[in-house]
Amino acid sequence: MITDKWNRPLRDIRISVIDQCNFRCTYCMPAEIFGPDFRFLEKDELLSFSEIEKTARFFSELGVEKIRLTGGEPLLRKDLHLLIKQLKNIKGIQDIALTTNAMLLPKYADNLKEAGLDRVNVSLDALEDEVFKKINGRSVSVKPVLKGIFAAKDAGLKVKINMVVKKGMNDDQIVPMAAFWKKEEIPLRFIEFMDVGSTNGWKMDQVISKDEIIQKIRDHFPLEPLEPAYFGEVAKRYRYQNSSAEIGIISSITHSFCSSCTRARISAEGKYYTCLFADKGFDLRSLLRSTASDNEIKQQIKAIWNSRTDRYSDERTEETAKNKKKIEMSYIGG
Ligand code: SAM
Ligand code: SF4
Ligand code: SF4
């Protein structure tokens, strides 16, 4: 196990497999910026499957046990199930998860499960069509997303729902979403609207805090807090009384959790980041494409983690939120 300057172990990696997406969520890839002229990465700018496999293997040899694939929309990456098969064969990798908007799950869920995928987190921010259509920027209704979620469940994948909450955008959907997923007994994670990237126009007064979310739900359903399931668990979890259903809140803004952050990130163009809010990443792609030996690459990955001091959310101010340059969410994947 390797640790950073604050003694945080390196336990998991998030790999963004593509920067493109079939949605234009207003808080992530606003359509005004990610329009028809936006230049997405070319195929050879993305890491190839064998480069991703190699990267994941080096990280696993350094102690990583969990991999999450993300994007952009990861299911737009052709033949993703083949990558999952390769990752599943890496000794030491115990868990492979995918974050997706679910549009392509009806088509791919069985394939993904068969390839070795363990879990999916599906992003769904509203149950009411008019609200959801505005958020996703593509006028897509809720129905195909629900279809994707139930396809994943039927395929035998573990499923969680992610809901970003932003004031005036979907705060009226908190209770309907809680009630719906409680009944389905599928865990729901609320995510405070974050100041990722530089294009989503984040303002503090648009954040609905963890405490406000909990109170809104408590007004309808009694909740009891749960202990963290493992060190570094990001969501604070609660169970509904007299039910096995649960919710979680990811409160990067109002209750930061940098002291237990064990996660490295690989962006779509193969840069290695040690924080979601970083502006600079290490160019792993060039190293992978150079004559460096496996051991040299691994030592470089290790050295970067060893010197890590990131704690952006602990130190966030209105000034850094507004003016600090940060990588876009569609490159780094959340
Ligand atoms: N396209 C996939 C999806 O939406 O699930 C995967 C990539 S998306 C960037 C990963 C996660 O980041 C999603 O759950 C999304 O809701 C979340 N996200 C994006 N922008 C965010 C923001 N500004 N604040 C909080 N969460 C955000
Ligand atoms: Fe696409 Fe996911 Fe970002 Fe929405 S949150 S624009 S689905 S990458
Ligand atoms: Fe980890 Fe950076 Fe988020 Fe803190 S702000 S929890 S260091 S990713």
Give, for all 334 residues of the chain, the pLDDT tens digit. Answer: 899 999 999 999 999 999 999 999 999 999 999 999 999 999 999 999 999 999 999 999 999 999 999 999 999 999 999 999 999 999 999 999 999 999 999 999 999 999 999 999 999 999 999 999 999 999 999 999 999 999 999 999 999 999 999 999 999 999 999 999 999 999 999 999 999 988 888 999 999 999 999 999 999 999 999 999 988 889 999 999 988 999 999 999 999 999 999 999 999 999 999 999 998 999 999 999 999 999 999 999 999 999 999 999 999 988 888 888 888 888 888 8
CA of 37 to the centre of ligand 2 (A): 18
- Does ligand 1 come within 6 angstroms of the Cβ of 194? yes
pLDDT at site 318? 85
Measured from the Cα of 278, ligand 3's closest atom is 2
User: Which domains, from first to last, does the chain contain?
Assistant: 12-332 (3.20.20.70)
- Give the distance from CA 333 to its chain's centroid: 5
Phi-psi label, residue 42: left if phi above 0, alpha if psi -120 to 50, beta otherwise: beta
Specify the pLDDT at position 242. Answer: 85
Question: Using CA atoms, how far apart are residues 103 and 148, in angstroms rounded to an integer?
Answer: 6
How far from 78 is each of 18, 36, 85, 140, CA to CA, in Å?
A: 10, 21, 14, 22
User: C-alpha distances in angstroms, 106 versus 3, 17, 152, 170?
Assistant: 40, 20, 7, 26
Given this model, what pLDDT does residue 200 score? 86
**Residue 311: nearest ligand to its CA?**
3
Indicate whether residue 257 lines ligand 3 (CB < 6 A): yes
State pTM to two decimals: 0.97
CA 27 – ligand 2 centroid, Å: 8
> How remote is the CA of residue 282 from the centroid of ligand 3, in Å?
17
Residue 14 Cα distances to 10, 66, 95, 98, 264, angstroms: 12, 9, 12, 9, 6
- CA 72 to ligand 3 centroid distance, Å: 20
Which atom of ligand 3 approaches the CA of 276 most closely? 8
Task: Tell me which ligand sits closest to the C-alpha of residue 170.
Answer: 1
CB of 28 sitting under 6 A from ligand 1: yes
Q: Which ligand is nearest to the CA of 252?
A: 3
- Check pocket membership of 73 for ligand 1, CB cut-off 6 A: yes
